[in-house]
Amino acid sequence: MAKLLMKGNEAIAEAAIRAGCRYFFGYPITPQNHIPEYMSKRMPQVGGTFLQAESEVSAINMVYGASGAGARVMTSSSGPGISLKQEGISYLVGAQLPCVIVNIMRGGPGLGSIQPSQGDYYQATRGGGHGDYRIPVFAPSSVGEAVTLTQKAFDIADKYRSPVIVLGDGMIGQMMEPVDLPDSTEINSVDKPWAAVGWDGARPRAIINSLYIDPSVLEQHNIMLQEKFAQIESAEIDYGAELVDDADLVIVAYGTVARIARSAIRMARAEGIKAGMIRPVTLWPFPSDPIAKAAETTKAFLTVEMSAGQMIDDVRLAVAGRKPVLFYGRTGGMVPAVRDVLHQIRIAAGAVDPRNPIEEAI
């Protein structure tokens, strides 16, 4: 099939529809508005439902209802809206309901900015809401990858009965790239005997619930959830490794930043600096093992993020003090330039004095 030129947000929406998602509940917030707008146009064409909720809180609870009723369902938002959804996300995890939540990150804290950011890494990878839980987090670094990860997100959500977050940034959401869209999958192809659809008396009554008032029962429920998280950690880690084997410096970056870092690495290599990259595709579960393995051979790590330094914690945990872990980040919606990252690579490689200004030639 011929490639289509699509905006990231719209590609995510179309990918969801082709993954069999027929219900979307959302609320307007920049920079992800193309997703609900696209859904409002497409859902009626495919017999689905788009409903603009009165709030982010209602949207995620509509997702809870639709998911509990057995449907493939999605919502999307950006940081401030995702914060409002956290109550519902915690309930979705507790009640073991599958769904896909897209966060097209913008600068924060507070109302912040509407420009790209990766400042919601902690929120996404540490659960985000109240209670003791994790959620699979997929971080695309191209529009094409946003399509494949959105589709995979629905499958992983159903496989583990869990919400899955697709964590993009404003750049991924708004830029256009050529994409291959997959064929549509069958609707309702996943058997959900636990769903509330009306009780015929022949099966146990469906009770979608996250309340376990007896602490010993809740602890058992939590142990079961933790076992599920452990299964996800052992089976679902995804990452890319580029030029790592001989690298003296391994950059760790995800999403848009990984692309910027890739260009910087290419230029550094041309200068004789052996730089490589590990690019987490799943932020949770985090690719700790390849980073730990790289720590045996490389001299240092450089984590680059559009935040003040969040993923670096996971990198440090994986490196476990064996090698230096350096950091370069921009915040507030500022996107690091290739020359900035190259400058950091040179500093890390000892090739330039950190007191020197960034060379203007790049």
Partner 1 sequence: MAVVFQKPKSLTDDILTYCPGCTHGIIHRLVAEAIDDLGVQDKTIGVAPVGCAVFAYNFFAVDMMQAAHGRAPAVATGIKRVHPDNVVFTYQGDGDLASIGMAEIMHAAGRGEKITTIFVNNAIYGMTGGQMAPTTLIGQVTTTSPYGRKEELCGKPIRMSELLAQMDGSTYVARVSVHDPKHVLDAKKAIRKAFETQLSGAGFSMVELLSTCPTNWGMTPSESLKWVASDMIPYYPLGVYKDSAKGAA
Task: Point out which residues bind partner 1 (CB under 8 A).
Answer: 23, 25, 49, 51, 53-55, 57-59, 61-71, 73, 87-88, 91, 95, 196-201, 205-211
Taking a C-beta distance cutoff of 8 angstroms, is the pair 38, 10 a contact? yes
Is 61 or 344 the residue whose CB approaches partner 1 more closely? 61
Q: What are the Cα distances from residue 228, in Å, to 198, 232, 281, 329?
A: 28, 6, 20, 33
DSSP string, 126-146: T-SSSSS----EE--SSHHHH
Q: How far is the CB of 344 from partner 1 (least distance, A)?
A: 44
CB 253 within 8 A of CB 169: no
Cβ proximity to partner 1: between 5 and 207 the closer is 207
Closest distance to partner 1 from the beta carbon of 68 (Å): 5
Give least dist CB 62 to partner 1, A: 4
Please say whether the beta carbons of 30 and 79 come within 8 A.
Answer: no
- Whose Cβ is closer to partner 1: residue 148's or residue 210's? 210
Cβ 201 to partner 1 shortest distance, Å? 7
- In the bound state with partner 1, the residue whose beta carbon lies nearer, of 69 and 175, is 69
- β-bridge pairing 275-280 and 239-242: antiparallel
Q: Compute the distance between CA of residue 58 and CA of residue 231 in angstroms, rounded to an integer.
A: 31
Burial 10-36 (b: 16+ CB within 10 A, else e): bbbbbbbbbbbbbbbbbbebebbbbbb
Residue whose CB is less far from partner 1, 88 or 116:
88
Of residues 49 and 148, the one with the C-beta less far from partner 1: 49
**Smallest distance, Å, CB 275 to partner 1?**
47
Closest CB to partner 1 among residues 157, 264: 157
- Show Cβ contacts of residue 295 under 8 Å, excluding neighbours closer than 6 positions: 301, 318, 319, 320, 322, 323
Distance CA 104, CA 115 (A): 10
Cβ at position 84, least distance to partner 1 in Å: 11
DSSP label at 119? T
Paired sense of beta strands 163-169 and 137-138, if any: parallel
We find the least distance from the C-beta atom of residue 11 to partner 1, in angstroms, to be: 25
* Least separation in angstroms between CB 88 and partner 1: 6
Q: Whose CA is closest to 315, among 102, 125, 105? A: 125
Q: In angstroms, rounded to a whole number, what is the distance separating the alpha carbons of residues 250 and 147? A: 27
Consecutive H or E run containing 13: helix 8-18
Q: Which is nearer to partner 1, 130 or 322 (CB)?
A: 130
